Chains A and B, each alone.
Chain A
Amino acid sequence: MSLTQRFPVGPEVPVTELVSRLQSEPDGGRLKVGDPRIVEFLTKFARKLLAPAVARRYPELASLGFFLRKGEIQKALSGLSDTGDALRFPRGLVFHVPPANVDTIFVYSWALSALAGNHNVVRVSSRSAGAAEEVLAALNAALSEVDSETARVITQTQRMITYDRSDEISGALSLAADLRVIWGGDGSVKALRQYPLAPHARDLTFPDRSSFAVVSVAGWQAASEAERRGAAEGFYNDSYWFDQAACSSPRAIFWVGDADAAASAGVEFRRLLGEVLAAKQHVTEPAMAVQKRVSAYGAAVDGLVTSMTFDGNAVATLELTEPAALPREWLGAGTFASASVRTLSDLVPIVVRKDQTVSQFGFGREELVEFATELAGRGVDRIVPFGSALSFSAVWDGYDLLAEFSRLVSVPV
């Protein structure tokens, strides 16, 4: 059973051979945390992603390019400096299994792990689409623009591969890994967990998550027309970029404050969102429109909603019978459950471990810190302003990824 080497491009190889190559010592010395050879390669690669032609075609790759600029990389690494008696080292060989349908996650996962000095093997989906192909082309092009010594060490330690479903390959890579990183939700985690790891190794898993939005009614009232429009625009990006199916995209909006004021704010927000959708020339495919009706009517049958409003095919608003009825599954692009609560504290009892991102508008930092403190780890890993729900960061799902990708050696003297 052979696998295809997509980066660096190479001939088909059996998995055993690939593993033994990736486990050998690289020329020019072992990789270190924040290894300058990796940094050099990443910044060359980032420049390719930021090229206007690429960024125009795939805006999500421009975000990735920004994330990998030299300044950003240094900032991320600065949080990792050796402290006191502890020295930080790479974990070894990391096996990444990204989701098939978000084309860029595998790059973030890989880049941070490489920055931590690991040897990496990334399984890229054979169903990968445009953006992923563009990424692989940029990686391969960047390889010919770094000096030969850097190119050689990258080639010896980093691999992106494609293979069809195979117990043999997934099994061998799992057994060889010092850390296995599984994205793509519960199904992927369950599928990969069949393959044993070495006794010292462990999994870093990213299971199914769901997210919701909160708006301060007082904050909304205090906001200018331009700020409100900005909120609608940010909310559009958060929700519609990935058909609302990204785990960070909000599936419900809670209006926090006076109920009557919340109702009129909600009406205004929907109007502004409609204007954004019109300006972006958003199209809802008929099949998606039907999907949304099926989900919405289903929620009604289940007794979760008191009323449903369809503003064209683009926005469906489902008024919840109670905040606790918030849906955590995907209902179709542009389907938002809505409810009003007096305070953020009212949301605390309904939060579960699965809840990942709270996107917020109109709250002050203090209120949000208080909310996070009150949640006390029940759930919610990030609270971000409208418009930032989809921005990836080096801290994800509650993990400081660079720390997860490295280990400490303590030398108390």
Chain B
Amino acid sequence: MTVFTLSQAEREATLLPQLAELTAHHRANSPGYDRILSSLGIARDAEFGSIAELPWLPVRMFKTHDLKSVPDDEVFKTLTSSGTTGSGASRIYLDKEAAGAQTRQLGATLQTVLGGERLPMLMVDTVGIIKNRRSFSARGAGVLGMANFGRKHVYVLDEHDKPDVEAVKGFLERHGDQPFLIFGFTFMVWLYLYEVARDNGLDLSNGILIHSGGWKKLIDRSVDNDEFRRRFREDTGLHQIYNYYGMIEQIGTVFLEGPSGGSLYCPDFADVVIRDPETWAEQPVGKPGVIEVVSTLPRSYPGHVLLTEDLGVYNGIDDGDWPGKHFSVLGRLPKAEARGCSDTFSGQAA
């Protein structure tokens, strides 16, 4: 069972009609989205020749405006993310169908590397992160979303955020000789699991690690993806490592690292476009640009074609572990700051 099967040509042929239909659907059901496209001079019956020609929305629109394509009474779940500090929260509206689809497709994507069984699961976080079910941090939502894919969960950190070595040792004694699942955010996995496993000589060779969340904190420690993989393999035996890239604004769609590492792949219902920030034209392989993520999942809100604020680069097309485009995330765009008369740091005025 895999959802990484479509070559780029097949992907264009399969997804373009669906995405064009989604564009029309959102225009018909989200007045705000329709106003954006109308103001850009895009006709309601416009034809699109390729995925890269579809109009994109900046992902931050969901922080500044409520955009949805379902009536209020059909909203089943509202997701909010804090995102980067001080930028407000994204609000993503899901109806029953969209909520179901995102869980299903995330499951299908992860099954590609986990198989069909629910595996014993090591969570590189504290159980406190999901204690308060009413208000989740983005981290809590991620942990909770992933927890469904495992069983017999053990948390690596105690309630004081200290690594609980005994708990990890106990988990490995019970499950370490069979495949098991490890989940966590990249920097926490590095800080709390790698160091604990190395210092205590733990054997993680049957583990399958799924991790996400950016390299910024690790680059400061001069650890990049290659170094991360190499040291885990050499010092703990862990060799099945899958980084993924995703965001709450396209919940359910994750771009997954291939088995050989170093490149992210698009599931069959998604695609990626790297754009030149000067001209917004698509970049060729090897030239960095701004990442646009494309997915057929967002039906209850117009989030099917989103320009992120991340920089990335195509590593290749149809020449990697799996078919389609594969790419790396290089970092974030810096925040746009203006010098003005008004002091945006009014808190400092005192």
Contact = CB atoms under 8 A, between A and B. Distances in A.
Given A166-B350, A287-B335, A293-B58, A187 B32 contact: no
Interface string B14-53: 0000000000000000001101101111000000000000
A290 B36 CA distance: 15
Interface string B330-350: 000111101111111111111
A187 B342 contact: yes
Contact of B333 (A100, A184, A186, A287): A287
A99 B350 contact: no
B340 A247 contact: yes
B311 to A, nearest CB: 8
Interface stretch (A267-275, A294-302, A345-353): A294-302
Contact of A285 (B67, B309, B334, B348): B334
Of B39, B307, B309, most A-chain CB atoms within 10 Å: B39
B64 interface: yes
A185 interface: yes
A291 interface: yes
B280 to A, nearest CB: 8
B290 interface: yes
A166 B290 CA distance: 42
B167 interface: no
A284 B57 CA distance: 19
Interface residues of B, number: 37
B65 interface: yes
Contacts of A301: 32-33, 35-36, 61, 65, 67
A22 interface: no
Interface stretch (A71-79, A304-312, A362-370, A398-406): A304-312
Given A186-B342, A308-B39, A290 B309 contact: yes
B67 A187 contact: no
B334 A306 contact: no
Contact of B338 (A188, A190, A195, A330): A330
Nearest to B308: A290
B153 interface: no
A101 interface: yes
Nearest to A99: B343
A65 B32 CA distance: 49
Nearest to B56: A293
A97 B58 contact: no
Contact of A246 (B335, B340, B346, B348): B340
A101 B343 CA distance: 7
B336 A332 contact: yes
Given A187-B346, A290-B60, A301-B32, A306 B39 contact: yes
B350 A245 contact: no
B338 A244 contact: yes
B25 to A, nearest CB: 17
B32 to A, nearest CB: 4
A185 B307 contact: no
Given A191-B349, A301-B65, A208 B58 contact: no
B286 interface: no
A209 B350 contact: no
Nearest to B346: A187
Given A101-B343, A301-B67, A290 B349 contact: no
A286 interface: yes
A136 interface: no
Interface of A: 97, 99-102, 105, 125, 127, 165-167, 170, 183-188, 190-192, 194-195, 206, 208-209, 242-248, 285-291, 293-294, 297-298, 300-303, 305-308, 312-313, 318, 330, 332-333
11 contacts: A99-B343, A165-B350, A187-B349, A188-B349, A191-B349, A192-B349, A195-B350, A243-B338, A297-B58, A301-B65, A305-B39
Given A186-B342, A297-B57, A313-B278, 6 more contacts: A187-B347, A188-B346, A286-B277, A301-B35, A332-B338, A333-B338
Question: What 6 pairs across the A-B complex have the smallest Cβ distances?
Answer: A187-B346, A245-B340, A185-B342, A286-B277, A245-B338, A184-B343
